[in-house]
Chain A
Amino acid sequence: EIVLTQSPGTLSLSPGERATLSCRASQSTTSSYFAWYQQKPGQAPRLLIYGTSNRATGIPDRFSGSGSGTDFTLTISSLEPEDFAVYYCQQYGGSPLYTFGQGTKLEIK
């Protein structure tokens, strides 16, 4: 099983600041099959980034993804009030087929 470990668990920042969220895989994973999701309270997850660095439809360009192998990063260049949420990374491959990280909560400082 490929385990995804996200850090930090909670990130406290102010609007306008830059956010950097990390996700480390327990073994190398295919970059094409790596994604990030945003989840707000009471809502379903929403796909943000797929294929490590591609923004999903309608996602603002302040969101960007990077990484390869075992280390992946989601960056939000300048936080807007609506960006405060929980973020999950996800990969495909191995058993189980899909695994998610435990989440990073991005909260307002």
Chain B
Amino acid sequence: EVQVLESGGGLVQPGGSLRLSCAASGFSFNNYIMSWVRQAPGKGLEWVSGISGSGETIAYADSVKGRFTISRDNSKNTVYLQLSSLRSDDTALYYCARRSDESSRCFDNWGQGTLVTVSS
């Protein structure tokens, strides 16, 4: 069974940093692109970042480029999202999601999310 479990969220002050983790199991982790998608309270979904199976190809939404860094450790089946220079509009539930194969390019498995609150 495919499982994705996020951790690392919490309350952080504006300008602060936080590292989110996403532990995956039940599939060949290094064969899949992994992404982070966030959802602000009461709002819709926003793709944040994605990383290829090898870690060589990375992409970010413009809203987080230069502030967030995605990485992965395939030996630990874990993907990370380093959040820096946090702003109040980064407050959201951050989901880790497995990207499906190249034929469909959607998100076929999601974790339950980890909440990041940016506030003084």
Using a CB–CB cutoff of 8 Å, the interface residues on chain A facing chain B are: 32-33, 35, 37, 43-47, 50-51, 54, 56, 88, 90, 92, 95-103
Contact = CB atoms under 8 A, between A and B. Distances in A.
B104 A51 contact: yes
Interface of B: 35, 37, 44-47, 50, 59, 61-62, 95, 100, 103-113
Contacts of B113: 44
Contacts of A96: 47, 59, 61-62
A32 B103 contact: yes
Given A96-B47, A100-B46, A47 B108 contact: yes
14 contacts: A32-B104, A43-B112, A44-B95, A44-B110, A45-B37, A47-B108, A51-B103, A51-B104, A90-B106, A92-B105, A96-B47, A96-B61, A97-B47, A100-B47
Nearest to A45: B110
Nearest to A98: B47
A88 B44 contact: yes
A44 B112 contact: yes
A72 to B, nearest CB: 13
A21 B62 CA distance: 29
Contacts of A92: 105-106
B53 to A, nearest CB: 16
B47 A99 contact: yes
A94 B103 CA distance: 16
Please name the 3 residue pairs, one residue from A and one from B, whose CB atoms are nearest each other, closest first: A35-B106, A92-B105, A98-B47
B110 A103 contact: no
A58 to B, nearest CB: 11
Contacts of A35: 104, 106-107
B95 A45 contact: yes
A88 B45 contact: yes
